[in-house]
Amino acid sequence: MGCLDFDRLDAIDAEGFQNQKPFPFVNPEGLLTEEAYRRLLDSPPDVSMFEADFGRTRKFNQECHDRYSLEYQEGLAISQPWQELIAELRGKRYRAFLARLYGTGSFGLRFHWHYAPNGCWVSPHCDSKRKLGSHLFYLNSSQDWDPSWGGQTVALDDGGRFPHDTSPDVKDFEGSVEAECLDNKSFLFHRTPHSWHYVKKVNCPEGALRKVFIVVVDDKRLSRRFLFANRSRTVHSY
C-alpha cells in the first residue's frame, strides 16, 4: 500500500496554487494515507542521529534558525516506512505533481528532518535562490502537541517592500497566514523574491519536539548557473 494519497495530490489546483497570496502555497490535509501517517509517526528517526544546529550565523544578518537537523543520504539507517515514503517521493507520480504545480520538470529533490525543542524558532526569510520551493510534512499530532506551544509555519506579506537579502522583523510585515501543522497536514510553497515565512517560537514542555520532514525542491537550472559561476571564480583565483 502506498504512502501518498495521489487523489488528494491530483486535486490540488495548479492555477489556484500559483495565484495564492501573499505567495504560492497550499496547506492541505491528508496527503499521506492514514495508515502511512501512523506508521511514520510511530517510527521517526531518533534525535540522537541528528546534528545540533544552534547559534549559527546566517546571511543578511538574519537571526539564527535553531534546531536539530538530519540530512537524508543513501544508506541512512531509517525505518522501513520512511524508506518507502522517500522511494515514493522520488517516483514519477510525485515528480509529475510537482512539475504541474511549479510549471517545470527541471528540478532535483533533497530530504531532511528538523526537530525543534523548547525556545527555538525560525526567523523571517525567503529561502535560497537555488530552491523552487519546499514541501513540509508535519510530524506532530494533537495527541503529542498543543497548538499553544507554537511551531506553526507562517506566510508573511511584505507588500513587495523587502528584498530577500534583508532581515525584517515579524512586526514589519503587512499581514500573515498561519498554517495548520497537526494531524497529517503539510505545507508546500513556491519560492519567490518575496516568499517570506517564519516559524513561531516553540514554547513546549521539556522533552517535547516540534518535528517536520522537508522535501527540498532545487531548481536545476539555477543550480547549474551557481556551479558554473563557482567554477569560474575558482579558475580566476589562480
Q: Which tens digit of pLDDT belongs to each residue from 19-78?
A: 999 999 999 999 999 999 999 999 999 999 999 987 676 666 656 678 899 999 999 999
* Average pLDDT for 10-22: 97
In this structure, is residue 72 part of a structural domain?
Answer: yes
Q: Say how far apart CA 86 and CA 163 lie, in whole Å.
A: 34
Q: Which residue type is seen at 86?
A: I
The phi and psi torsions of 222 (rounded to 5 degrees) equal: -70, -35
Tell me, what's the pLDDT at 128? Answer: 86
Give the closest residue to 199 by CA, choosing from 106, 100, 65, 84: 65
Give the closest residue to 188 by CA, choosing from 83, 102, 81: 102
Confidence check: pLDDT of 238 > 70: no
* Average pLDDT for 207-220: 96
Summary mean pLDDT of the chain: 90
Q: Say how far apart CA 64 and CA 81 lie, in whole Å.
A: 32
CATH number at residue 66: 2.60.120.620
In this structure, is residue 52 part of a structural domain?
Answer: yes
Tell me, what's the pLDDT at 231? Answer: 45
Q: Could you give the 3-state DSSP secondary structure of residue 209?
A: coil
Tell me, what's the pLDDT at 5? Answer: 97
Are 214 and 114 a contacting pair, CB within 8 Å?
yes
* Average pLDDT for 205-212: 96
Give the closest residue to 130 by CA, choosing from 108, 104, 156, 161: 108
Tell me, what's the pLDDT at 89? Answer: 98
Angle between helices 80-89 and 92-102 (to 10 degrees): 50
Spatial strand order in the sheet of 197-199: 122-125, 197-199, 153-157, 175-178
In this structure, is residue 1 part of a structural domain?
Answer: no
In this structure, is residue 211 part of a structural domain?
Answer: yes
In this structure, is residue 87 part of a structural domain?
Answer: yes
Q: Say how far apart CA 127 and CA 165 lie, in whole Å.
A: 10
Got the DSSP string for 57-125? --GGGPPP--EEEEE--TT----HHHHHHHHHHTSHHHHHHHHHHHT---EEEEEEEEEE-TT--EEEE
Enclosing domain of residue 74: 6-236
Tell me, what's the pLDDT at 58? Answer: 65
In this structure, is residue 130 part of a structural domain?
Answer: yes
Q: Say how far apart CA 14 and CA 156 lie, in whole Å.
A: 21
Q: Which tens digit of pLDDT belongs to each residue from 146-200?
A: 999 999 999 999 999 999 989 899 999 999 999 999 999 999 999 999 999 999 9
Query: How many folded domains does the chain comprise?
Result: 1
Confidence check: pLDDT of 115 > 70: yes
In this structure, is residue 77 part of a structural domain?
Answer: yes
* Residue in this structure with the C-alpha cell 527541471, named with its chain if needed: 106
User: Is the pLDDT higher at 112 or at 228?
Assistant: 112
* Average pLDDT for 90-109: 96
pTM: 0.90
Give the closest residue to 187 by CA, choosing from 31, 14, 49: 31
Are 211 and 115 a contacting pair, CB within 8 Å?
yes
- Calculate what percentage of the chain has a pLDDT beyond 70: 89
Give the closest residue to 68 by CA, choosing from 92, 87, 47, 91: 47
